[in-house]
Structure formats: C-alpha cells, structure tokens
Chains A and B, each alone.
Chain A
C-alpha cells in the first residue's frame, strides 16, 4: 500500500524529516507516536502533499507508484485521506455541499459521472448513522462553530464518505471526551478492511485501546527510532519518552 524510503523533508530550509523508512500493507493499522516536535504531523502533511514542504531526498510509493510529483488533490483521488489535527472552517459551505463537491471531483478525476443525488443521500444517511451524527449537523457551515469533538467526528465522517485506501489520522483523539472517542474509534474500526490501511498519529495510548495497532513506531527528531507491536504503546504510556531519547542520544 504505502512504502516510504529514506524520506527527508524540510520547510523553509529547516530539515524536519531526516530519513523515514516505513512500509504499511493493506489491512494493517500502524500507530506513530513520539514527543512534541518530533515530526509526526509533518510526516502526515508530506504524505498528503502539502506544498510548503519540500522533499529533499527519498520517495513515497503508493501502491508501487511514486507520488512525489502529484498534487495534493491527485493524491486524494488515489485514495489518500488525512484527518486533520486542526480542521479549518469554511463559512457558508455546508458539510453536505463540501462532501458532494469532494466526491464528485474525485469521480470526475476518474472519468466518472457525478454521483446521482439519490445515491449520495443514501450514503450520507448510512455514514452519518455510523458516526452517530445528527442530520442537522450536515447542513451547518463546515467546522464553523463546531466543538473540538464535532470537528473530529466530522473528519471521520468525511473519511467514511470518501472511502480512502490509506487513512492518516493526525491526533484525532485530541479534544475528544471519552464518549466521542469511542464513537470515532468505532467508526474507524467499522471502516477498516483487508483492502485499506490506517496510520494513527497520537501522543497517547488511550486511542490505541480502541483502535488496536498492528505496529507501533516511535518518531523522534525526524526519524523512526523504535518499532514494535502494540505492547510498545503500553510501555511508552508507562515510561514516557525520556528513555527513548536517552537511548537515541546516547
């Protein structure tokens, strides 16, 4: 699904990622953990194709294809989805209208006709039930005046609508209370299949109790310094990151 080879990336000449190697296969869930400023969100942005970041070395392969030259929307068309840590507001554009535009633009890129309104409605109904979203919510302006929890739930709703191959959840747990966390995690679990993959970026163990990872990676200072199974997350929860820093810096 995703193969990252020796990825170096910088912003305004400041190197953030310093040689990332990662392979994510279909059907897998990977967790990326690490202290603040280690480059977790940068990695997510670079995979999604944010223009401000410059890839200086290495490459990213999606299903064997080098996506380095592709614009963000083209990567999205190929099935890359990023759940944002800080979803932006777009006043006057309803959640429904935004989703309709996103789905039809993706279909257009694949040479398909617009999705018939009937199918779209059915899909919206199903996916909003999955995430326990009130229908009134869908007519509101995108993220405008949404609570932290609503924003994150809306991100996962969009993920459900777009049915990506590779979903990257960037700190989706931040700002969620325990009930919202459960709903969001259940949503993600139901969307998981043998054909797609999920990368969960988080500080904390608690989300990983609900979305159980196959692999856990620790990112520190722009590199993956430790990988392991789900027990690594528990170890980090218990011991913090200092021991890893010491190991690396030693």
Chain B
C-alpha cells in the first residue's frame, strides 16, 4: 500500500518555494539607510509636500523616538534594526502625466507573473486600481469614471498636493501619530498609499482596489491609506498583497484610517500574502499594521481579511462605534504554516447607543506555526443596548503548531449583551480517509475541509476575491497534512 508519510510531506514542504518569490530588476532610487530628522525632511521634500505635512511627519518622528516596540503580542522575533533600513525607494522617472503604455515593461511583466495584468483588470474586471510598487504609484486607472461621480481615488501623495484640505482635516484623526510605535513610525516616513473620498449619497459603482508589493531589497514599506465615506455613501475597497522572496526580514508597517460618516458604509477586504519565510523559518515579512475605522450615526464598517502570508503578523483592524446605531464587523481567516506567527484580531469600541458588532475569526495553524486571536470588546458607559457576538474557531493540522485565543471584554453599561463562542478542532485522519475513499486525494481533501471551515468568512468577500482567496488557502497549506 502506498503511504504518504510525514517525512514525504516535510520533504515536499521544503521544496515548495514561495509562488511569487521572484525579483524584478527595476532601476530604483533608494535613500541611504537609517532614520533621522534629515531623512524625514528628505522624504517629504522628495514628494514635494507642503510645509504642514513636513511638520506633521517631524512631530511623529519625535514621538516615535521616545517610544518602544510593543512586546505584549504572542510573537517572538528578532527586532528590526531601524537604523539599518532604507526609508524611501521609488522606481525612477515617475511622470504623473504618464499613461499605462509608458509604464516600465519589466513592471508590467511582473504584474503578469502575479496574475495582475493591469490591462486585463481594466478591461474585464471593472476594478479601478491604484498600484503601489515600491512606494510610488505608477499607474492609476478608472480615474475618469470615478471623477464623474465626484469620487476621489488617487495616491495619498497626489492627494496631499491636490486635496490638502481633506487630507489635513482627516489624517491622523483615527490613528493618531502617538497611537503606537509602528503607527508613529509610519506617520514619520510613510512613502505612499491610497486616498479615497466618496461624496455624500454616492454609491461607488465599482470595487476599488490596490495591490501592494515590496520590491527593492532591504526597503521598508510604509503605506498610508485614508478612506472617507461621506454621509449616506457606500464603498467596497479591496486590498491584496504579494511580495517577492528575500532572505533578510522585511518590515511592513502600514496605517489604514477609515471614516464612515452618518449612514455611510465601508466594506474593506484584504488578502495578505507577503512572503512568509522559508520552511526553516528564515526570512519573511514582518507585518505590523494599524487599521482602524470610525463609524458615525447609523454607519457601518466591515473588515474582512484573509491572512496567509508574513513571517510575523501583528494586526487588529478595529471599529470605533461612536454614532448611535452604528455597526462594526470583523471577518478573518488567518493561516499560519511552517514557522509563521500571527497575532491578529480586532477591537470593537462601542460608544454610541444601540451599537452592534460581529466578530468571526477562523485561525488555521499548520507546521510549527503559532496562531493567536486577540480581540477586545469594549462597551462604554453611555452605550445603551450594545450588542456583540464573537466566534473564534481554530483548526489545527499536525502536532507541532499552536492556536491561542485572547478575548478581552470591558463592559461599563449593564444593558450590554455580549456573546462569545470558541471551538478548536483538528483535521482528523478519519476525515481524510473518508474523502480519499470518495476519490478525493489528500491535498484536495485538506483544501475542501479548510474551505468548509472558512466558509463563513469567504462568503463575505467580493466574488472574484473569494476565488483568489480560496486558491491562496490551498497554496498556503499544500503538503501540511496532520
């Protein structure tokens, strides 16, 4: 009888290289390594920013210098040397008037390899993309269709120049510069990112999407995203990442701020697939992200994330439910394999009356990985009739991985109703054999079981993203039979 042993699996895992692990040689202009006031000024100058922005960055830098890295998360890694990182890298010769046809052919080839043909996206997917490659946006599409509705969708660098009043009014209001170590760092040195404004009463006619990508060796990535949905508007925003293979650890510290004004709705979906490191736990991206949204009256923010990449993930997309009747949702699938570590979850801060939040977290651990859910549900004293439902499910594959759940609840209002459910299960040999007996091989069986486990969250993703996410789950867990 043919046997597929643990050893076979281990061998297969070792030889399985990161799908998107290649490096495209594009001429880049990189600043000297290290961080000081001059570098912060230089970044700001390079981007031709107004004085207020430069000052804002410098203030953030001062705050950051006084802060220390947080250590409360259930992750263990060698701390990055922040003076050994280059804080700015841009593909050279960016011309704002340039069209897609003028884009570096190497870059376009790279997108193809990733399956992100911009042309195809343009024609077929009805998705406007603001592509961030190494810090600077080089292509923006669908701008015209959007501008007809008064929607502003551009890189944040452009927005600082073209809509300074909006950026200045809202940047740092949801995630203050001193919020945490990484947010402060990002505020000082953010390279680029996306800006989006949906005017009053406008339903954005298409899914807005960005693809982030780390390319230049040793370059930190510090994206900054600011999304404002004015009263009664609606937008669905997709964010997906892949990163090329690299040996030294790469730092990624993004900040995302969402503002949903009265009666507005924001759906923010992420597929994160940064390089997770190799089978021995060498390399991989450090992903320290601060994502937060504010809901005014009757507003709704929905975070959906599929996290399969990064060596270390530290990420808690949160909702501040300030307005009465506002709704916050968090749907998450986090997959860890080999030596990956993820500490992820959400914070639901209920301030308004009749506020509601839902948390569904699905953690899948394989190999020697550690996967933690950390969530806070906070009910303020004036938040009458607040409701929360949390469900945290963990699926284990093999005997060497770990799943952890850290739910925190702080309720200061007696009318609050908070429910928490948690399960832990393991993919069993009996389940695999049952599938095998029906003609389904072991790899496919695991994909089927994992997809079933993740279904509640996958269903929340926009259709085309859900298919991609399903594939990612399969790729991430290939060969990791328990």
Which A residues form the contact surface with B (CB < 8 A)? 48-55, 68-73, 76-77, 80-82, 84, 87-88, 90-93, 97-98, 101-103, 105-106, 109, 141, 158, 162
If A50-B433, A84-B434, A87-B434 touch, does A71 touch B2 (CB 8 Å cutoff)?
A: yes
**CB–CB A101/B453 < 8 A:** no
When the two chains form the complex, which single residue of A50, A69, A81, A93 contacts B452, counting CB atoms closer than 8 Å?
A93
Whether B448 contacts A76 by the Cβ 8 Å rule is no
The answer to whether B433 and A158 touch across the interface, beta carbons within 8 angstroms, is no
**Interface of B (DSSP majority class):** helix
Q: Collect the chain B residues with CB atoms within 8 Å of residue A90's CB.
A: 431, 434-435, 448-449, 452
B70 contacts across to A, CB distance below 8 A = none
- B67 on interface, CB distance cutoff 8 Å: no
Q: Which of A49, A69, A88 has the most CB of B within 10 A?
A: A88
Annotate B441-476 by CB proximity to A: 1 below 8 A, 0 otherwise: 110100011011111100000000000000000000
How far does the alpha carbon of A193 sit from the alpha carbon of B1 in the complex, in Å? Answer: 30
Q: Are A49 and B1 in contact (CB under 8 A)?
A: yes
* Contact yes or no, B437 A48, CB < 8 A: yes
B438 contacts which of A51, A69, A92, A98 (Cβ < 8 Å)? A98
User: What A residues does B442 contact at CB under 8 A?
Assistant: 73
Contact, CB under 8 Å: B437 / A82: yes
> Could you tell me if A76 and B438 are in contact, using CB atoms closer than 8 angstroms?
yes
CA distance A72 to B456 in the complex (A): 30
Q: B449 to A51, Cβ gap below 8 A?
A: no
Give how many A-B residue pairs fall within 8 Å (CB-CB). 87
| Residue from the list B4, B429, B434, B439 in contact with A52, Cβ < 8 A | B429
Q: Provide a sorted-by-A list of 30 A–B residue pairs whose CB atoms are within 8 angstroms.
A: A48-B437, A49-B436, A51-B1, A52-B429, A54-B1, A71-B441, A72-B436, A73-B435, A73-B436, A76-B438, A77-B439, A80-B437, A81-B437, A82-B437, A84-B437, A88-B428, A88-B431, A88-B434, A90-B434, A92-B456, A93-B448, A101-B440, A101-B448, A105-B439, A105-B440, A105-B444, A109-B439, A141-B452, A162-B438, A162-B439
Query: Is residue B38 contacting chain A, with contact meaning CB distance below 8 A?
Result: no
**B residues in contact with A91, CB < 8 Å:** 452-453
**Other-chain contact of B444, A51, A53, A69, A101 (Cβ < 8 Å):** A101
Q: For A92, give its contact among B3, B431, B441, B453 (CB under 8 Å).
A: B453
Least distance between B289 CB and chain A CB atoms (Å): 28
Which B residues are CB-close (under 8 A) to A51?
Answer: 1, 3-4, 433
Contact between chains at A72 and B448 (CB < 8 Å): no
**Does A102 contact B453, Cβ atoms closer than 8 Å?**
no
Residues of chain B lying within 8 A (CB to CB) of residue A105: 439-441, 444
Q: Are A69 and B448 touching (Cβ within 8 A)?
A: no
Chain A residues contacting B431 (CB-CB under 8 Å) are 88, 90
Which residues of A are found within 8 Å of B430, using beta-carbon distances? 88
Beta-carbon contact of A93 and B449 below 8 Å: yes
B429 cross-chain contacts in A, Cβ below 8 A: 52
Q: How far is the CA of A76 from the CA of B3 in the complex (A)?
A: 16
Chain A residues whose C-beta falls within 8 Å of the C-beta of B3 in the assembled complex: 51
User: Across chains A and B, which 8 residue pairs bring their CB atoms closest together, nearest first?
Assistant: A92-B452, A72-B436, A93-B452, A76-B439, A102-B438, A106-B439, A92-B455, A73-B436
CB distance from A51 to the nearest CB of B (A): 6
A152 to chain B, nearest CB (A): 14
Kindly report which residue of chain B lies nearest to residue A67, judged by CB atoms: B1
User: If the complex has contacts A90-B448, A106-B439, are A70 and B2 also in contact, measured as CB distance less than 8 A?
Assistant: yes
Please determine whether A73 and B428 come into contact, CB atoms closer than 8 angstroms.
Answer: no
Q: Quick one: which of B2, B433, B448, B455 contacts A98, CB cutoff 8 A?
A: B448
Given A49-B1, A54-B1, residue A76 in contact with residue B451 (CB < 8 A) = no
Cβ-neighbour of B436 out of A53, A71, A92, A101 (below 8 A) = A71
The residue on B at minimum CB distance from A143 is: B434
Q: Which chain A residue shows the least CB distance to B441? A: A73
Cα distance A68–B1 in the bound complex, in angstroms: 5
Which residues from B are CB-within-8-Å of A71?
1-2, 4, 436, 441
What 11 additional pairs, Cβ within 8 angstroms, besides A51-B3, A88-B431? A51-B433, A71-B436, A71-B441, A73-B442, A76-B439, A92-B453, A98-B438, A98-B448, A102-B439, A103-B439, A141-B452
**Which B residues are in CB contact (< 8 Å) with A55?**
1
- Name the residue on B nearest A108 (C-beta): B439
Q: A3 → chain B, closest Cβ, in Å?
A: 17
Per the bound structure, the CA–CA distance linking A202 and B401 in Å amounts to 41
The distance in angstroms between the C-alpha atoms of A68 and B2, with both chains bound, is 8
Which residues of A have CB within 8 Å of B441? Answer: 71, 73, 105
C-alpha gap A88/B425 in the complex (Å) = 14
* Contacting residues, chain B, for A72 (C-beta < 8 A): 433, 436-437
A52 CB contacts on chain B under 8 angstroms: 429
Write the chain B residue with the least CB distance to A78.
B439
Q: How far is the CA of A45 from the CA of B429 in the complex (A)?
A: 13
A-side contacts of B437, CB under 8 Å: 48-49, 72-73, 76, 80-82, 84
Note all chain A residues with C-beta closer than 8 A to B451.
92-93
What is the chain A residue whose CB lies nearest that of B438?
Answer: A102
A90 to B451, CA, bound (A): 10
A81 and B431 alpha carbons, distance in the complex (Å):
16
Choose among A51, A53, A55, A103 the residue with the greatest number of B CB atoms under 10 Å from its CB.
A51
CB contacts (< 8 Å) of B428 on chain A: these are 88
Cβ contacts under 8 Å, B1 to chain A: 49, 51, 53-55, 68-71
How far is it, in angstroms, between the C-alpha of A207 and the C-alpha of B430 when the chains are bound?
26
Q: What mask results when residues 1 to 31 of chain B are scored 1 for a CB within 8 Å of chain A, else 0? A: 1111000000000000000000000000000
User: Which B residues are in CB contact (< 8 Å) with A93?
Assistant: 448-449, 451-452
Min C-beta distance of B179 to chain A, whole Å: 36
- Whether A92 contacts B454 in the complex (CB less than 8 A), given A55-B1, A84-B434, A101-B444, comes out as yes
Most buried by A among B439, B454, B455: B439
- Distance in Å: Cβ of A146 to nearest Cβ of chain B: 14
Specify which of A55, A84, A101 lies most central, judged by the most chain B CB atoms within 10 Å of its CB.
Answer: A101
